[in-house]
Amino acid sequence: MNSKIPKDLIERAYQGKSTKEDALLLLEVPPFELFKFADELRSLAVGDTVTYVMNRNINFTSRCLGTCGFCAFRTNNGKVLSIEEIMEKVREAEKANATEVCIQGGLLPDVGLDFYQGIVEAIKAEFPEMHIHSFSPMEVYHAAHISGISVSEALRRLKRSGLDTMPGTAAEILSDRVREIICPLKIKTGEWIEVVRQAHSAGIPTTATMMYGHVETPEERIDHMLIIRDIQKETGGITEFVPLPFMPYNNPIGEKMIREGRYATPGLEDLKTYAISRILFHGHVDNIQASWVKLGKKFAQFALHCGVNDLGGTLMEESISKSAGACHGEMITAEELEWMIHGAGRVPKERTTLYREVNELASGNSRGMSGCRVSE
């Protein structure tokens, strides 16, 4: 094959040393050559296994002090679920064989860390084996501030209460220029980084996300990924990277974009973002996840040939993307996820939150899994 990708760039990628300049150059190569290269690195990192997790999303309130211009979920008078109402949802998740609950909510003016600890402790008291993957860096930062304690102390208390892992959300784009436009009251880049580093120090692994396709530049997307890579090189605490295309509906940032003739990211741009993610993170973060909620089921299948090796969770409910215009559903069965994965020519594998093996597939088969960096 007469590759348009320079040999020295390929060598750096295999060594886990891709640069910002490499990534910018790769954006200019023919798309399917880029996808093929990312797919080769995916095969090296994790083989042909594609994973998913049996989980449930629980958003405990849509009320929020925030003013994020991309949010279509926030309301001023939304209900706040009680701990018992949250527990009812956890019980439903347990009955559906979920191994994880992912709990997040808006920023409340008078709710400190005790509320979050109460949720975690109630779940662990009734379901000690349920993995609690909850509370964004922004939520932890806010709760610590309300409670008058340091972020590191807040994380230690959450860990003692039973918090297992945290979603690396609220990252958006890790550029203060971008954040000043889309979420001026949200934690700054350096503060997000510090919360994540402190979480890893407290023994709480995290994911890492990137919400792209609004006001950021290609350079800022790449800088974002390199920041995540630097954190991983330091701590090893990131389990997966999740690129999330911005949904430009029912929110101020999106409405402004549409008035200017700009819409949701083109599909080709999404696939290139997944491919660049795989290349930049090779040797550092093995797991690249595609959101079937945002991409749709068929397009998520195609992403499996562009560097992606994980399709996320069954969810059971999803409010945030739906409120911003996503129309691909709120839940999916394990059987359908496995059907999608088989249809893409890959091997399905149910996983835990930390990419450990779960004994049985919904289809009754059991296979090995690779690609996990964070141990339980």
Residue entry with tokens 């289809």: 363
pLDDT tens digits, residue range 115-142?
999 999 999 999 999 999 999 999 999 9
pLDDT for residue 128: 97
Q: Which residues contact 324 (CB under 8 A, 6 or more apart)?
A: 70, 71, 72, 73, 247, 248, 249, 250, 251, 254
pLDDT for residue 229: 99
Closest CA to 208 of 174, 262, 171, 247: 171
Query: What letter would DSSP give residue 28?
Result: T
Handedness of CA 205, 55, 289, 61 (dihedral sign): negative
pLDDT tens digits, residue range 3-44?
889 999 999 999 999 999 999 999 999 999 999 999 999 999
Bridge partners of residue 58, in order along the sequence: 103
Indicate whether 189 pLDDT > 50.
Answer: yes
Task: Give me the residue spans of the domains in the chain.
Answer: 7-350
Superfamily of domain 7-350: Aldolase class I (3.20.20.70)
Mean predicted lDDT score pLDDT of the chain: 90
CA distance 136 to 140: 6
Q: What's the N-to-C CA distance of the chain in angstroms?
A: 42
Contact 303, 278 (CB under 8 A): no
Residue 271 identity (one-letter amino acid): L
Question: Higher confidence at residue 164 or residue 251?
Answer: 164
Enter the pTM of the model.
0.91
Count the Cβ atoms, other than its own, within 10 Å of residue 163. 28
Q: In what order do the strands lie in the sheet with 347-350?
A: 310-313, 49-53, 347-350
pLDDT for residue 331: 86
Between strands 49-53 and 310-313, the pairing is parallel
pLDDT for residue 108: 82
CA 225 to chain centre: 13
Structure tokens at 303: 């992403």
